[in-house]
Structure 1
Amino acid sequence: MPDGGELIIMGFIRGAVGVKGWVKIGSHTEYLDSLLDYPTWYLIKDQQRVEAVLETGKVLNNKELQVKFEDCDTRDQAEAWQGYTIAVPRADFVETEEGEYYWTDLIGMSVINHEQVVLGSVHSLLQTGAHDVLVVRGEHGEKLIPFVEAFVGEVDMNAKTIQVEWGLDY
């Protein structure tokens, strides 16, 4: 892994496709083709971690991502990758626009309401279609807070805090 940076899990290899070394991907990204932005992936399974370089990739019918790695030219070689987790270095992520955040950066941040009560920390996020939802867990139980301007104020990446308009009794 480059420079000891953090690897972020982005998906997994579902299996082989065809006979020329292609694999189909289960992606954890918002857009299927987002993984194609990263030319080098780290494939992880059990205690093994292998660097794989993308040769090419495509999205079929807006439903399935398929890729071919360099030096993977047969179905047998492709089948060997099934079950591997796909990770990329966090340092390789593209900078976000103002007010946009990668979910991985929000997880673990402290959530503090307008009364300066710590509601807990971000455990995960949910995608509902209308908007994303923060899943916050702490001593006050679990809170589901819509990640919209009406409820979420300042997100301080340096202090690792999110200010929210959310009461304890919500």
Structure 2
Amino acid sequence: MSNTENWVAMGYIKGAFGVKGWLKVQPSTEYTDSLLDYPQWRLSKGKDVQMVEIEAGKAAGDELQVKFSHVNDRDVAALLRGYTIEIPRESFAETEEDEYYWADLVGMNVINREQIALGEVVKLMETGAHDVLVVRGEHGEKLIPFVSQYIDEVQKAQKIIIADWGLDY
């Protein structure tokens, strides 16, 4: 049973690059080039939605440079600036136990062992050693390492993360 409405935002188009229709893309994935694993993207901006096919692409620092098969000049490419890139959730590979996609963690609510709501995961940061949850709520912003030492449980269905994390950390 596949739900084709289950699109996940994975980055956005920053603007045109060069004269042949290439685009600069800011991915919101752990690995810059992992968006290139998906040959088709859905682009959305407001009510405008279109499907595109990747002709070529490469990582350049922390962004991607991509070429869509139907975009062949800078003017057409420039019109795509600001579009969100979406990938169907069902095309993600299955995760191992205790493995999560960043896209699944963003938007989850984090509570600590004392049942105090610390806030919502707004993004993740990669530090080299481990990923860090950026959590914002009424108690300000908290940076919580996404490691078993601090994360007791991820309840995917309830969209809750239980953390061993005090308000004063």
Report TM bin, short chain: 0.7 to 0.9
2:35 paired residue number: 35
CA deviation vs aligned residue, 1:118-140 (integer Å, no higher than 9, x gap): 425533234161431341536xx
| Identity over aligned pairs, percent | 46
Give structure 2 stretches of 5+ with no counterpart. Answer: none
1:92 corresponds to 2:91: yes
Q: In the alignment, residue 34 of structure 2 is paired with which amino acid?
A: S
Q: Which moved more, 1:4-13 or 1:126-135?
A: 126-135
Q: Check the 8 A contact 1:15/1:78 in 2, yes or no.
A: yes
- Tell me, in whole angstroms, the C-alpha distance in 1 between the residues paired with 2:160 and 2:63: 36
Residue 4 of structure 1 and its aligned partner are, at CA, apart by 4.2
- Tell me, in whole angstroms, the C-alpha distance in 1 between the residues paired with 2:22 and 2:108: 38
1:161 paired residue number: 160
1:78 corresponds to 2:77: yes
1:119 corresponds to 2:117: yes
Instruction: Provide closer, same or farther for how the CA distance between residues 95 and 70 of structure 1 changes in structure 2, counting only shifts above 3 A.
Output: same
2:110 counterpart SS class: strand
1:15 paired residue number: 15
Instruction: Provide closer, same or farther for how the CA distance between residues 34 and 169 of structure 1 changes in structure 2, counting only shifts above 3 A.
Output: same
Q: Check the 8 A contact 1:52/1:70 in 2, yes or no.
A: yes
Residue 38 of structure 1 and its aligned partner are, at CA, apart by 1.2
Give the count of matched residue pairs.
Answer: 165
Q: Check the 8 A contact 2:110/2:135 in 1, yes or no.
A: no
- Tell me, in whole angstroms, the C-alpha distance in 2 between the residues paired with 1:72 and 1:114: 51
Give structure 1 stretches of 5+ with no counterpart. Answer: none
2:81 counterpart SS class: coil
Q: In the alignment, residue 57 of structure 2 is paired with which amino acid?
A: G
Residue 52 of structure 1 and its aligned partner are, at CA, apart by 0.7
1:48 paired residue number: 48
- Tell me, in whole angstroms, the C-alpha distance in 2 between the residues paired with 1:30 and 1:125: 11
When the two chains are superposed, the root-mean-square deviation of aligned CA atoms in Å is 2.6
Question: Which is greater in Rg?
Answer: 1
Spell out the pairing of 1:98-137 with structure 2 (5 A cutoff).
98-115=97-114, 117-127=115-125, 129=127, 130-131=129-130, 132-135=132-135, 137=137
